[in-house]
Amino acid sequence: MDKTGHPITIEYVERADLSVERSVLDSVFDAGLTGIVVRDALPPDLVEKAATRLQSEGLKHAWTSPNKGMPGGEIRTICDAATPTFTALRGPTLDAYARSANDHSRWSHRIFGQAEPTTQIASVFSDLFGGRPAARPSLGNGHHWAPFNFRALDPGIQIYSHHDNHYGLDIYQALDSDYDRSTLLSWFVTLQPAQTDGDLVIYGLWGSDPDPPMLPTRFLDTAALERDYCREAVSLGAGDMVIFDSGRHVHRVTPVLGDRPRLTLGGFLTSDKARSKLAFWC
């Protein structure tokens, strides 16, 4: 049987080849392109240093387990994300998020050293958006949203099928109403791939489609997605970045296999309604 669903198109580019002449991100905002992979978005020595630090004894206490109690889905993170978790189904409170966001640069410097990559990440986004600027949005009272958080998937752990539809959470009342909430893109940089699997798989199913295949547990039925829908697996090496339309497309990360964690850093991305600037946060 032919697979069903919205087409999935991914464009692959090298960081060194990016030029501001072409705005690839506009095509993603317009849902003409599903995603972009930027190879070598961060330098290899920086990525390797971060992967080592993230697995060091000294940082063990930094990790939290926001999905504690979710069988097979217990992701570990450093810094909170503005998403629902198994322990906070309606996402973090503004207070908790602001506290975590204030700690972000301290953690990021401990992990990367002086070469903390927020500026480099902003410049990748900007180069993909015809040179228009990219920055963290304001959270009010002089504070800012955190630019990204760190994630670890240990062997046996996966991210179950979902789409990222978070603007309804209370915390997003703190996001300026000038930003376009009709689109939510996810992005992440792989710091250490899993030995085996741990791949991002994007499906042709949109979160807004009627009658998605559901299990009685109210989770999406991944076996049915694999059977009936078009899919695209995105395999990323250390230093590679993916940006994709996670607000529309159902996606997941397959269970990590092997003897080391899969490490990523990432967050979300949108533009203002006038498409004059980008905002990224986690």
Ligand X SMILES: O=C(O)CCC(=O)C(=O)O
Binding site for Fe ion (CB under 5 A): 164, 246
Q: 171 with 268: CB under 8 angstroms?
A: no
Task: State how far the Cα of 183 lies from the Cα of 103, in Å rounded to an integer.
Answer: 28
Cα–Cα distance list, 81 to 41, 64, 77, 94, 194 (Å): 22, 12, 9, 11, 22
| 124, 38 contact by CB (below 8 A) | yes
Tokens of 51: 């992967």
- Which one, 246 or 271, has the nearer CB to ligand X? 246
> What's the closest the beta carbon of residue 246 comes to ligand X, in angstroms?
4
Taking CB under 6 A as the rule, does residue 104 contact ligand X? no
Nearer to ligand X, 159 or 205 (CB): 159
Tell me: does residue 151 bind ligand X (CB under 6 A): yes
Q: Which is nearer to Fe ion, 130 or 207 (CB)?
A: 207
- Min dist. Cβ of residue 19 to ligand X (A): 26
Helix, strand or coil, per DSSP, at residue 143:
strand
Residue 280 touches ligand X, criterion: CB under 6 A:
no
Q: Which is nearer to ligand X, 145 or 188 (CB)?
A: 188
Question: Of Fe ion, ligand X, none, which one does residue 264 interact with (CB within 5 to 8 Å by kind)?
Answer: ligand X
Site string for ligand X, 232-251 (x = CB under 6 A): --------------x----x
Regarding 164 and contact with ligand X (CB under 6 A), the answer is yes
| Single-letter residue type at 97 | Y
> Per DSSP, what are the bridge partners of residue 253?
159, 200
The site that binds ligand X (CB under 6 A) totals a number of residues, namely: 10
Do residues 98 and 87 touch, judged by C-beta distance below 8 A? no
Residue 192 engages ligand X in binding (rule: CB under 6 A): no
Residue matched to tokens 């504690």: 68
Which position among 188, 229, 280, 281 is part of the footprint of ligand X (CB under 6 A)? 188
Picking from 41, 62, 167, 56, the residue whose alpha carbon sits closest to that of residue 106 is 62
The residue among 105, 25, 93, 81 whose CA lies nearest residue 270 is 25
Judged by CB under 6 A, which of 266, 279, 280, 282 binds ligand X? 266
Tokens 């949203």 belong to which residue?
A: 145
CA–CA separation, 136 and 225 (whole Å):
34
**Residue 125 near ligand X by CB under 6 A:** no
Nearer to ligand X, 31 or 130 (CB): 31
Which of ligand X, Fe ion, none lies near 266, with the C-beta cut-off 5 to 8 A by kind? Answer: ligand X
Per CB under 6 A, the list member of 51, 152, 253, 282 interacting with ligand X is 253
Report the residue number, 24 or 236, with the smaller CB distance to ligand X: 236
How far, CA to CA in Å, does 208 sit from each of 91, 194, 273?
21, 31, 21
253 binds, among ligand X, Fe ion, none (CB under 5 to 8 A by kind): ligand X
Among 220, 239, 218, smallest CA distance to 231 is for 220
Residues that bind ligand X (CB under 6 A): 151, 159, 164, 186, 188, 246, 251, 253, 264, 266
